[in-house]
Structure formats: structure tokens, C-alpha cells
Structure 1
Amino acid sequence: MRKSLLILLFGLAAQSSFAAGPAFPGGPGPYAVGLRIAQLYDRARAYPDKIDLVTGLPTSGERARPLQALIWYPAEKQGAAIRYEDYLRTGATEEQFKRPEAEASGAVASYMQDNYPNLDAQQSKAALAQTMLARRDAPALAGKFPVVIYAPGSSAAAYDNADLCEYLASQGYLVIASASIGMHTRSINLDIDSAEAQARDISFLLGYAATLPQADDSHVAAIGYSFGGLANVLAAARDDRISALVSLDGSVRYFPAIVQQAAYATPERLALPMLYLGGKPYTAELMNRVKQVPTYSLMNQMKFSDLYNVTMYTMTHAAFQSESLRLGPELRFDEYSREEATLAHGWMGRYVLAFLNAYLRNDAAALAFMNNKPAANNVPAHLLAVDAHHAEGAPPTLATMAARFAKHGHKDLAGIYRDMRQRDAEFKPDERSLIAWGEKFLDVNRYPEAIEIYQLSTSLYPDSGRAVFYLAMAYDRHHDNALAIDAYQRVLGFWPDMAEAKQSIARLKTAAK
């Protein structure tokens, strides 16, 4: 079983205690919660290296990437609730799916000793014996539920925020998580490769969710804690099935250099609602003293998104993870007490729920909650602050242009483009993307629309023979023979020996006689 990075991240205290899990305002939702474990492989990716790093010999056995998924879901209230120890036991089978029961028990003991050595035997026993909401393999309720993919912190287990995952399932969400693992080893590096590996895990789990009868995979959010709160942003930038983002003190704020390396993570690709819950900001003096002044902030650039930046004043980084609240030493919470951090964590969950209800369920009351002053939501005084920024219109993208083209009855594409350029002078669709868009209309014999697209592409790319050829082909199929002949002749100006253009001109001239 892994040795967590929690010791390195948060340190150890001379004395430690444990607490029950966080209480979310209003309590659990109306649904009982089931927990199922699915042991999956992403066979599109290798996991162990070709050479075993211990033996130095070629790796034997399964080499596909193991993704053990924990699935929380609305269920019938059948069976006994699991204990917190049951979550820890899942860590024993993250890489090796088949391990003897005795090994799993030993792995839990080793994990507690490695990461929480200041819990005495009685405290440890009591902490692991705490009952949870989830019931193992309880029958799933009929119906469809929005999907939440949860990405844990760096090298953390899938259950690192089990309390939040259970809470969301009790409110009618299907929640899926897998451990944060590196490209080829159990522990990750804090770099772009590891962030993208975890981002691909998120998309893999989303694809898996689509196979589940309960999943409403047309409404999907990705939640990430710490480094998972950077990976989920990269996942959303490449996977538009994700329609909302939640970051729990996510590393998208703390590792700007990694974000910048992901050149595809642009405001245009991230035009989706986002909730960022973070700890109390550093003072300017402290930021300068420890050289943590970021040179770049993606969130400051996200002008096409509804962005809610919630500052949790009594939460350190560790407090955003319920395992730390349950088992971690007091010093992890800095000058705040465990009780203060636990109260704030509960309200963190309440804001996550309201955000998901607002944007995945179109719940007007939840949207009002998000835009209220905290006092109007009965938040305890001085606990948190909300800074809301609403999207400044649709992003300048080909998809936006296509939507406006359709709204205008597929007329005046050139005018639509001019209007978009007035809003963003740098907007210029890629030539090949325009050509591919036009082909969709050619394929269904909608030639006037294709002609408008190719007229725009030839005006934007006047030195492109490819754009002119597609315009000629669209005219030809629409029986605009004179325009087609003219366009094919322009093609020959780029490629004088192009037989297809010559033959088309001859054919059209013959037809005109």
C-alpha cells in the first residue's frame, strides 16, 4: 500500500487526535448511499515500465493502467453501513487488484503507522471504526443522476474526500473517483506529465460512467482537491463533456507554470462555470517573502465563465480533505482548531452542492444561493467570502460562430464573423477546421451553407489553394456552373497541373453548350 505524501505536505504533530467526519449544513440528502468498487484497466495506456524498477528484469504480467474506481450512488437502504477502515482497505488494491485479505489488513496498519503515528492504538481503533453513510453494494435506485468525477490530491487515494462524495450521492449525484497515480508509478510528480495523466483518468472515468444505468452523462462535473484541482481543469479543456468545475484549494492556483505549459487550457476552451474554494490568501508581504507571487493566473483570464471564488477563512490546505479532518494532527490546521476547520469544511460542501444544483440541474434557488451574500445563506459570520464573476458573453470559437449561424437561419456568415471580430480582434478560425465544418454540410447536400463557409475561408486564407478548391466543389455541386468554373481556374493558379480541376472545368464548359 502507498506511503502517502501527507507527512511531507502537512508535517507531524507531537500530539494527535481524531474526529468524526464533517457535518454538512442541513445534513445528508434524501437518498441512501451505495458504494461499489470497480476494478478497471485503461488499456490505451501502459502503467509499469518495460523494465521492473526493483528486479531490473522485463516486467511480467498486466501492463495496462489500473484504475480502481470507487462509485457512490443513490441506493436502497439495505445492508449495514461501512466503517471508515473499509475505505482505507481499498488502498491496498489500487495497483494490485487481487490481494489476500490478510495483506489488506496489514496494509491498513502500515498506512496508519506511516501517516498517523501519533494516534495511539485506542484512538486509531476508534477512528477506523466510525460508521459512514455508504452501504457496500446496496441495490441502486432506478433513475438517472448527474455525474461527478472526483480527482483526489497528489498521490492520494480515491477516498480522500469520502465524506463529500457520500454527501453528494445522498443528494442525488453519481460520484466516481480513482486514486491519484503517476504515469508509471504509484506516486506522482508535480509536473505537467502527471497532471495530464490524472486528467486522462478523469476522462476515462467519465467514459466508464456512460456505461452505468444510473448515469445522466449529459450533466457532468469534475471536482478536484489540491493537484486534482489542476488535473480537472486540464481535463475540461480537452473534454467538453465536462460542463462544470469545482476546485477544492486546487493547484490551478498554486502551479501557474504547469498551467501555462498546457497551452490548450485557454479561456475559450474553459467557457464553463467554475467554483473555486480556497484558504485564506497570503498577505502581500508573506507572498513576497516566500517568493510565491504567481506570474500567471488562469482564473483571472476566464472571462467567458461564471466563476465563484470562495475564500474559506478558517481552512488551511489540509482542511479541504476529510481524511485530514478525521485523522490528522491538530497542527495541520495552523492557528485554527479542528472544530473550526470542520465547521468550514461542512459549509464548503454546502456550496459545492448549491453550485452543482445550479449548473447541472438548472435549480434557480441554488443559483440564487450562489449569488447571495453569505449572511443571506445563514453562513456563520466571518467564515467565508464569495467573489462572483459572471461570463462576459460566449467565447469567440468556431462552435459559437456555428451556433449563431444556425440562429440566423444559416445566413450572413461573413457578417456574424465581423461582429465576433469586433468583440475579439484576434479571433480567426483555423482553416482546416473551417473546411471540415463545410464538409458536414456537403455530406448532407446543404450546398448554400457550405458555400458561405468556404467563401469565408477563402477570404480569411486568400493564399490557400485548398480553401478555393472546396469552394469550387461546393459551387459545382450546387450547379452554380459559372462560379464553379471561375473557382476551379483559381485553383489552377495554385496547382497548375491539378487534373481534377482541369477535368471539372472541361465538364462544366461542355454542359454549358
Structure 2
Amino acid sequence: MVLALPTQAQHLFSDLDYGVYPVGFTHYVAIDSTRQYQRIHDFTDSKIYRPIPISVWYPAKEQTADQRLTVDDYLRIVAEEAEWENLPDDLMLGWFGYGTDSVYQTRRKLKTKAVRSLPYIDDSHPLIVYSPGYERSSVENFALSEYLASHGYVVISSPSRGTGQQFLDAGTFRDIETQTRDFEFLAKEVRSRYAAGQLRSVTALGYSFGGLAGVYAATRNDYVNAVISLDGAIKYQYEKLKQSPYFDAVDFKVAMVHISQKDIPTELLDAEDLPPSINTEFEFFDEIGKVHAYKIRMDSLSHSYFTSLGVLFQPRDPRQDPAWRTIRTGYQTLCRLSLKSLNAVLTQPSALYEQIESGHLANPEDFTLLEYKQAAIDNTPTMNFREWVELMRAYNYQDLAGLNSEYSHFRDMPTSLYSPKEWELNTLALKLAFDPETYEAGIRVAEFATLAYPESANLYDTLGEIYLLDNRKEKAILNFKKSLDIYPENGNAIKRLKELKVD
């Protein structure tokens, strides 16, 4: 039986609750001059600066229905990004491993919601950086991107490709690093194209292998506010991310929603030699803490159908996939769930839980909330020592005790500011004091250190040395004596007092 499809004038997902904004789209190529690249299908040894094809969906001012892009327009971008710019249209689907019968061919002609190069609406909008799956196109999830743009989001994406040529290195950490650098390039690029203040937040949205880049980007860029993972490989290939000496799950401090595929049936697990634990284990989710985190399962979608192109052209696997109409409905639920997740994690992360529990989301039978971690009230440091120093420097190291007055002893009372360690304060004090231009700041830090750690003989010894640098002998003597009161065998204090002729 052939399913009836929407007419060409309609959009495949026309019954989605699109937002009030017309959807603009632009596609262009930017150049990353920090990396070299070789077009391997050109069969030449010449290298160029790395091209980054970029697709952007955005809220627009106006739209003309008959100018909307077709699915074919997006497929041509797929071919361009794969460096097959002149690939004939009739070869397109088979070339990229999709279904080729008449049903799939008909879907190529469907209208979408986007129109090229519409004027951008002059307003402030949240930004989504979308990281596609392994060696996939920037437009693989065009329908989701259009849907989010209609609700006021700017979505930017680039294809998943290798650092020096089109293909990745079989999913190594180097590939994760490459895609994360592309994420950072896109975030910078989109800021350069829109006026300051027009982009008020940044969310990492990633599918499959791109989910690893989204998580990694969030741990090393403070501007990332949230992560949405569409069956991201952070669940399945976390060990690859852990290979980085620079990655630590402790650094993940933003709200996260992970939406996974339906459970893989036993028949398929056995046939593909997959462990049953692939359905349940999620090490990264278990490790993160002190953040709002959701684990949701789509009950009608297998992995391939988390993207627009997958829904349209990926042949069903009868061992696990339901009828295409059910897949289409499930994908629309995924779009709505992604929007609700974005709206929640950027404002009030607990609101998503309340909406799910109350049944206010459309088609609640399509998904299951597996786990919700609510961020605990946490008084542990939210900044590191470098950031603490920058803050104190802004006040010229004045009134350190007042600025840090919410605690009196670092060791005993956690603070939401930062609890400098004894050695950190000692090193900072000496570093400042040895420079004549910051000598007085060094004294202030050393004095503050003795208040924070009043039982430290070493800190009083340091303060004595700093006073001695400026020939302030009386204060130096006083602090060397305090050091000896705490630790009578302090050789340096004994030596200094003898030099100063103090009994």
C-alpha cells in the first residue's frame, strides 16, 4: 500500500504547530584560515584554507508561499557539502544511501517552510548551534530547524567533516575535537552577522555523533547555556570523549535534555551483536550532577528517524520500525518536545518535568520520561581561582575580607564565590609583592590569607618576607614571631629574626 502524501503545495509536516514567524534561510561557505583542507574528489595535491559550508534558519519579516524551498533544494546542498556539486538530481537519493522507489521520489518535490534570503526580523533571539551526525549534512534536520525558527530561534549548522578532508577518522576523539571547533566557529560566525544583543543565549543541539561535540563544547565554552541531545552518541561512545585530557564531566554545568531512540528489540540486538545494556546504560548521565538533566525515550522512533532526511528517505527496518505514518507522527512529537525542552532549559528547567507529568505535551504516548535529575541547591564554588583573581583584581585587591565576607574560614564554610587554597593565596601574594607596581596589592592578599588561614605558619612567614622587601622591619618581625608561635621550628623565621637582631 502506498501512503497518501500531502500535495506539492503543502509541507510534509504541515500539521505541526508552527510559530508566528516566517522562516528565512541562507546557505553560504565561510573560510577557516586556521586549518588547511584538501578536496579529495578533485584528485589534486593542492591544499586550501578549510571551507565551512553554513546553513542558517532564522525568524524573518515576511514570506511568500510560492517561493518556499523544496526538499530537492536541500538535497542539492547535501550533494554540494559532499563535494558532488554537479551530481544529477535523479541519482541523488541512491547516491547517499536512501530509498529510491516512487514514494521517495515523490517526497523530493514537497514544499518546505523556508524561503531563501528573507530579511531578518529586528529583534533579540536565542541561538541554536546544530551539530549533525557522523559525516552528515548541515541540512539533515531541516524540518526541525524550520520549526524552531518559526518559534523565534536562530539555528546555524555546518556539515560533519574531517579536519583536512571530507571524511572523518572513523569516529576518533580527533573527530570530536574537529566538530567542536566547527561549533565554536559557527557561534563566532553568527555573532559577526547579527547586531550585538540580537542573540541572547546559545544552546548546543546535536544528533548522533554530533551529540558528543555539543557536550564537549558546553564544557569548554561558558557561553553555552544548555544542551539538547537527539539520541546523541554521548550515550553510546562516551569513552571516546573521556580520551581527552581536557574533558571532565565535572565541568558540565548546564541543563541537559537527552532524547533517545526506542529500545532496540532483542532480535536486532542478537543480529547486530549488540549488548542489551545499550538500551539502559548511560554513564555520562549518571556522572553529571548539580544540573537539571532529563532522560527521555521516544517510543516510536529508531535512531535514523531523528532527522528530517531520515524520516523522508530512510527505508524502514521491519524488525523494529512501525508504519511510516507512525514514524512521521513520532518525528513531529520529537520537534515539539525539542521546542518545549529549549523553552524550559533556557528559563525554568523544572518546567519541562511539570509539563510532561501533567500531560500537557502533545502525543504523550509517543515518549517516556525515564529520569529527571533536579539540580540540588549547591554552595560549592561556581568559579575557579583564575576567575576569582580576575574579580579581586577588578577591585584592585581592596577590602578582600569584605568582598569575601560570607565566610570566615575557607576550609570550613563552602561559598558560591570561591575558596582559594592556602598555596594559591601564598603564590599570588608573592607574585604581586615581587613587582614594585603591585607591591601593596601583594600585602593586601597576604594579610587576607592570614585571616583566611590563621593557623598557617607559612602564610605569616610569607607576610613577614613581603614586609621586609619594603624594609618595614617592625611588621616583618611581628609576623615572623607569629609564624614561630604556630611552628617553633620554622627555620626561615628563626634566621630572619637573628638577622634583624631579635632575641
TM-score using structure 1 length: 0.75
Work out whether 1:358 is the aligned partner of 2:344.
Answer: yes
Tell me how far 1:317 sits from its aligned partner.
0.3
Deviation track 1:347-366 (CA, whole Å, cap 9, x = no partner) reads 22212112221233x2x5x8
- Which protein has greater RCO, CA pairs closer than 8 Å, 6+ apart? 1
Contact 1:315 / 1:344 at 8 angstroms: preserved in 2? Answer: yes
Distance across 2 between alignment mates of 1:37 and 1:187? 21
Q: Which one-letter code corresponds to 1:230 in the other structure? A: L
Amino acid at match of 2:216: L
8 A Cα contact 2:463 2:476, kept in partner? no
What's 1:33 paired with? 23
**Structure possessing the higher radius of gyration over alpha carbons:** 2
Contact 2:337/2:361 (<8 A) preserved: no
Q: How far is 1:94 from its partner?
A: 2.8
Seen in structure 2, the aligned counterparts of structure 1 residues 16 and 110 have a Cα distance that, compared at 3 Å, is: farther
1:372 corresponds in structure 2 to 355
Question: Pairwise mapping of residues 10-409 of structure 1 onto structure 2 (< 5 A)?
Answer: 23=13, 27-48=17-38, 59-62=45-48, 64-79=49-64, 80-94=67-81, 104-106=85-87, 108-116=89-97, 118-120=99-101, 122-188=102-168, 189-213=170-194, 216-282=198-264, 290-291=274-275, 293=277, 297-331=283-317, 334-360=320-346, 362=347, 367-374=350-357, 376-380=359-363, 382-386=365-369, 387-394=371-378, 396-397=380-381, 399=383, 409=403
* Secondary structure of residue in 1 paired with 2:126: strand
In the alignment, the residues of structure 2 paired with residue 226 and residue 354 of structure 1 have an alpha-carbon distance, to the nearest angstrom, of 20
Question: AA paired with 2:372?
Answer: A
Q: Partners of 1:282 and 1:335 in 2: how far apart? A: 10
Provide structure 1 residue ranges, at least 5 long, that are not aligned to the other structure: 1-14, 97-102, 422-426, 497-501
- Residues 32, 76 of structure 1: 8 Å contact kept: yes
- The range that moved more, 372-381 or 202-211, is 372-381
Larger displacement relative to structure 2 (316-325 or 375-384): 375-384
The 10-residue stretch of structure 1 (252-261 or 133-142) with the greater mean CA deviation from structure 2:
252-261
Q: Deviations over 1:103-157 (max 9, x none)?
A: 735254443122356423x545432221111110011110121110000000000
Residue 65 of structure 1 deviates from its aligned partner by 2.0
User: Does the CA-based 8 Å contact 1:247-1:277 persist in structure 2?
Assistant: yes
Instruction: Report the equivalent of 2:404.
Output: 410
Native 8 Å contact 2:176 2:212 kept in 1:
yes
Q: Which amino acid aligns with 1:32?
A: P
Deviations 1:408-447 (A, max 9, x none): 73226663453339xxxxx986967996799899979877
Partners of 2:59 and 2:149 within 8 A in 1: yes
Partner SS for 1:76? coil
Which string of whole-angstrom CA distances, capped at 9 and with x for unpartnered residues, describes residues 41-76 of structure 1?
Answer: 222222339xx7985x7x3252x2221110111112
In structure 2, stretches of 5+ residues that fail to align are 393-399, 484-488
| CA deviation profile, 1:157-214 (whole Å, cap 9, x unmatched) | 0001011111111110111000000222212221111011101111111111221226
Query: C-alpha separation between the residues in 1 aligned to 2:215 and 2:251?
Result: 10
Alignment: residue pair count: 462
The farther-off stretch of 350-359 and 130-139 is 350-359
